[in-house]
Amino acid sequence: MKICHKTNSAHFGLYFILLTGFLNPVLRPSVQSNLTLFRILLPVTFFLINKYSQIVFTKLCKWILGLGILGAVQYLITHYYLYYSLKFDIYYYLEYYFHYTCILIIVAIVKCLELAEGEAFYRKFFSFSKTYVKFICSFVFFYTVIMGNELRSFSLADNINNVSCILIVGTCFFVADSKENKYELIWSILCLSLTLYNDSKAAFFGGILVIILYLSYILSYRIINDRINVRKLLIIFFGIVIVNMVYIFPMINGYSLESIVVNPLYRIVHNQPYKIVNTSTTYRTNATIAAFRILKKSYGFGVGMGNTARALRLLMMDAYGGVWALKANGFSLHNWWLELMCDFGWIMIILQLKIFIKEVIMFINRKRNSNYQLYSAFIILTFPIWSIGASGLTTEYFTIAAMVYACMISKNSYKEYIAKNAF
């Protein structure tokens, strides 16, 4: 009984710390404070992870050590060979080392709970995530729609684009669960509407892609043909419809779809940055072009934790005349997957492509999907879209945990998929 009590205490403690991570933007003494409850509890977190699983704790320590060594090597190469004008700042290095260490701790907590509870953990996290997003969604709806305020005016609110990412993650949960509970579609529509209402265009387009994938799955589920991959044809069909919507519905929230979708894509592909940076679209387009130049200059090795922001500031100030965040240490790329690639190089390039390609293969070819598998497919396949609007990757712990959860499901599903198709 004593061992069970200790295990249950550690169990509760890990769930509590995970929740403090999700509420990290709110659980702090003041808006300007960097001290949060999640960070205060880090020593306790290490103790609980070690108590819960020594294997996970050992791996966590190795990953943290490896992260520090990789970051130090990248910093030296970046500052002494790639960008001479960037001064090596030990405090900046330690700041981002700490941020990414916190992300690894979130991953370790999720892994500990998964190992301890197995299938029960997937049910609990799925249910809890829906409840959490419903709370966020209700608050955003009340504060912005009912009261008529802008979310950024709420002192403890996170960046609206980051909140919109939470809403889209919730949309993935709700749509995936609507196969059994149709009422969840109401919440998914509300989440999607709030991203549009708050002008988070990238998140909105990501949500639209979730709906397309869902319709493709539902229709192909009803129209089964062993000779033809109906789902693949439906995805292509809906893709063509969406492309043509640029011309059918040319405006969204007063913006031309051609100016916020077609022109930026053309400029990124042809490496043609805007000469004048005066809108979020022109800024993000130029930042994306600069990020690909950073990757090319580093030969895919990456520039080190947080150095993407400093290199962007250098390139956009000198080459593009950027006028955004002049007093900041760096410019936000507003693109999570590309920022990870620029920070860590080939490690993240290969990892992200591997996860994405495996999920594409499974979603197209797997005839039946559980709610968990649908969620995993939705969030992984739409991640390249909705993540390009957000900033502050390193502190969005709920979104990070939801992504880790999806990757765990995807990994297990791929093992099953390979086993079934081995012969």
Query: What is the per-residue pLDDT for 5?
Result: 40
**Residue 119 pLDDT > 80, yes or no?**
yes
How many residues appear in the chain?
A: 423
Average pLDDT (139-159) is 75
Residue 368 tokens read as: 């039946």
pLDDT exceeding 90 applies to what percent of the chain? 39
Q: Are 360 and 314 in contact (CB under 8 A)?
A: no
Query: In sequence order, what are the residues at sequence separation of 6 or more whose Cβ sits closer than 8 angstroms to the Cβ of residue 74?
Result: 301, 302, 303, 304, 305, 307, 345
Counting Cβ atoms within 10 Å, is residue 360 exposed (0-12), middle (13-18) or buried (19+)?
Answer: middle
Q: What percent of the chain has pLDDT over 70?
A: 84
Joined together, the tokens standing for residue 107 give: 């991953």
pLDDT band at 63 (very low <50, low <70, confident <90, very high): very high
- For 222-234, the pLDDT digits (tens) are 665 555 566 667 6
pLDDT tens per residue, range 8-19: 677 788 899 999
Residue ranges per structural domain of the chain: 2-129+242-420
Per-residue pLDDT tens digits for 251-272? 676 677 777 888 888 899 999 9
Burial class (CB in 10 A: 0-12, 13-18, 19+), 237: middle
What's the predicted TM-score (pTM) here? 0.90
Dihedral, CA atoms, 338, 342, 347, 350, nearest 10 degrees? 40
Q: In this predicted structure, what is the pLDDT of residue 2?
A: 35
Angle (CA) 303-200-364 rounded to 5° is 75
* Distance from C-alpha of 331 to C-alpha of 313, rounded to nearest angstrom: 5
Confidence of residue 327 (pLDDT cuts 50, 70, 90): very low
* Pairwise CA distance, residues 330 & 323, whole Å: 12
pLDDT at residue number 256: 74
Quote the CA–CA distance of 139 and 160 in Å, as a whole number.
13
> How many of the other CB atoms lie within 10 Å of CB of 256?
14
Rounded Cα gap, residues 104 and 101, in angstroms: 5
Q: How far is CA 84 from the centre of its chain?
A: 32
Could you tell me the CA-to-CA distances from 218 to 81, 188, 288, 314 in Å, in that order? 53, 16, 35, 48
Q: What's the whole-number mean pLDDT along residues 200-204?
A: 88
Cα-only R_g, the chain = 22
Per the CB < 8 A criterion, the answer to whether 105 and 60 are in contact is yes
H-type helices in 78-200, by residue range? 90-117, 119-140, 160-177, 184-197
